[in-house]
């Protein structure tokens, strides 16, 4: 194990620059109220010694940590199979590093982990939290609220009624779904089916609502609940074909499901889009673009959601990111766009 040389302290820099610790501190933290000459002298000393502030000592007195927790609660492997979180993380990461904040990742699976996360957040290790709460019955949001840590949620939390001041970022799932279904109707399709996601997730529920907005009188047999996976999409499509062989369009709750549906349709000899038009959701590139035929889908800006979440949180933490993010005390809903490819 390499012995790490004792890192230089403020004191050392101060000595070298011939000033007091206070002055060095001032320079390191922006340098206001210090004469230009001294600033450069201190800067040089910092450079020479390779001084890096000790974050622990700093946090001890400032009570800030310049760190944000990202909590991803997901017992299922499935989540990791789609790049959704990865993209959000990327957006979050970019925004956080742009403001010199660190990203502490907390992955949870199961109840005991929840307690751990609650303790960690309550422990004041981070300045705020970004939480992905997927399920309606998730106890995590409650725990976090209780911990008193500024939080922004990814996706609309299920319990929005019970607690008004939750800040969240979401895609316009309902609006996107409406646009998709309208597109299908515009193509002259009248027997439009919908393969939903797990309805205990708000995103899936909202997409179903969007579907119903456009097709209020749809035969209930044209709606099949599924689980956002290709295999689930296959099962659902089979059920749908079984019940309503005359189906002429399918709005799948996400791209993976759509891919499963495509496979079953092909298997049953239905041509897409001629016999059955198919439309997905997410615009997960490798999936949607490589599907056969390439998938028409509703794009959501996942990385942008991540960035926005981070920006909102930093705003709440007083980071004065930009004018825009300030003052938001409820949810922000990002628009979606329909991407036309070959399948509808």
- Which chain residues interact with a second copy by CB under 8 A? 1-2, 4-5, 7, 50, 52-57, 59-60, 65, 67, 70, 77, 79-83, 85-87, 89-90, 93-94, 97, 102-107, 113, 116, 119-120, 122-125, 148, 150, 229-231, 256, 259-260, 263, 284-286, 289-290, 292, 316
Residues within window 15-34 making contact with DNA, judged by CB under 7 A = 18-23, 25-26, 28-29, 33-34
Distance CA 181, CA 251 (A): 7
**Helices and strands in the chain: count of H runs, count of E runs:** 14, 12
Name the minimum Å distance from CB 63 to DNA. Answer: 8
Contact in structure between 293 and 277 (CB atoms under 8 Å): no
**Max Cα–Cα distance, the chain, nearest Å:** 86
Q: Give the binding range for DNA (CB under 7 A) out of 8-16, 90-98, 230-238, 316-324.
A: 8-16
CA 105 to chain centre: 13
Distance CA 296, CA 340 (A): 5
Q: Which is nearer to DNA, 21 or 99 (CB)?
A: 21
Q: Quick check: 184 binds DNA (CB under 7 A)?
A: no
Distance CA 12, CA 253 (A): 60
Residues within window 234-263 making contact with DNA, judged by CB under 7 A = none
Q: Which is nearer to a second copy, 22 or 115 (CB)?
A: 115
Q: Which is nearer to DNA, 15 or 332 (CB)?
A: 15
Write out 106-148 in H/E/C secondary structure.
Answer: EEECCHHHHHHHHHHHHCCCCCEEEEECCECCCCHHHHHHHHC
Query: In what side-by-side order are the strands of the sheet with 277-282?
Result: 223-224, 192-195, 249-252, 277-282, 296-300, 336-339
Name the minimum Å distance from CB 73 to a second copy. Answer: 12
Joined together, the tokens standing for residue 251 give: 């709005």
From the list a second copy, DNA, none, partner contacted by residue 97 (C-beta under 5 to 8 A by kind) = a second copy
Q: Quick check: 122 binds DNA (CB under 7 A)?
A: no
Judged by CB under 7 A, the residue of 60, 77, 161, 188 near DNA is: 60
Contact in structure between 84 and 305 (CB atoms under 8 Å): no
* Residues forming the site for DNA (CB under 7 A): 6-7, 9-11, 18-23, 25-26, 28-29, 33-35, 37-38, 51, 53-54, 57-58, 60-62
């Amino acid at each position: 194990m390499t012995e790490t040389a004792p890192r230089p302290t403020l004191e050392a820099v101060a000595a070298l620059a011939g000033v007091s610790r206070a002055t060095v501190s001032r320079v390191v933290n922006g340098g206001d109220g210090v004469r230009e000459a001294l600033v450069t002298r201190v800067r040089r000393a910092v450079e020479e010694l390779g001084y890096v502030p000790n974050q622990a000592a700093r946090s001890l007195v400032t009570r800030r940590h310049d760190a944000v927790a990202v909590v991803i609660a997901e017992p299922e492997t499935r989540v990791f199979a789609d790049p959704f979180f990865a993209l959000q993380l990327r957006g979050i990461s970019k925004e956080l590093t742009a403001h010199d904040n660190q990203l502490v990742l907390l992955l949870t699976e199961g109840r005991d982990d929840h307690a751990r996360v609650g303790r960690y957040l309550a422990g004041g290790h981070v300045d705020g939290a970004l939480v992905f709460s997927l399920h309606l019955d998730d106890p995590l949001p409650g725990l976090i609220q209780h911990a008193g840590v500024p939080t922004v949620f990814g996706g609309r939390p299920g319990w929005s009624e019970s607690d008004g001041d939750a800040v969240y970022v979401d895609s316009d799932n309902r609006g996107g779904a409406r646009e998709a279904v309208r597109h299908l109707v515009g193509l002259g399709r009248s027997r439009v089916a919908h393969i939903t996601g797990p309805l205990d997730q708000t995103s899936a529920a909202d997409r179903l609502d969007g579907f119903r907005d456009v097709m209020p009188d749809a035969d209930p047999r044209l709606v099949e609940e599924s689980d956002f996976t290709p295999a689930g999409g296959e099962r659902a499509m089979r059920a749908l074909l079984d019940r309503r062989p005359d189906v002429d369009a399918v709005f799948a709750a996400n791209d993976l499901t759509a891919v499963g549906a495509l496979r079953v349709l092909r298997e049953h000899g239905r041509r897409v889009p001629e016999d059955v038009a198919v439309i997905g959701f997410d615009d997960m590139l490798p999936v949607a673009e490589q599907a056969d035929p390439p998938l028409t889908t509703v794009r959501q800006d996942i990385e942008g959601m991540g960035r926005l979440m981070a920006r909102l949180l930093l705003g709440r933490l007083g980071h004065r990111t930009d004018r825009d993010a300030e003052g938001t005390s409820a949810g922000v809903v990002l628009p979606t766009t329909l991407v036309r490819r070959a399948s509808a």
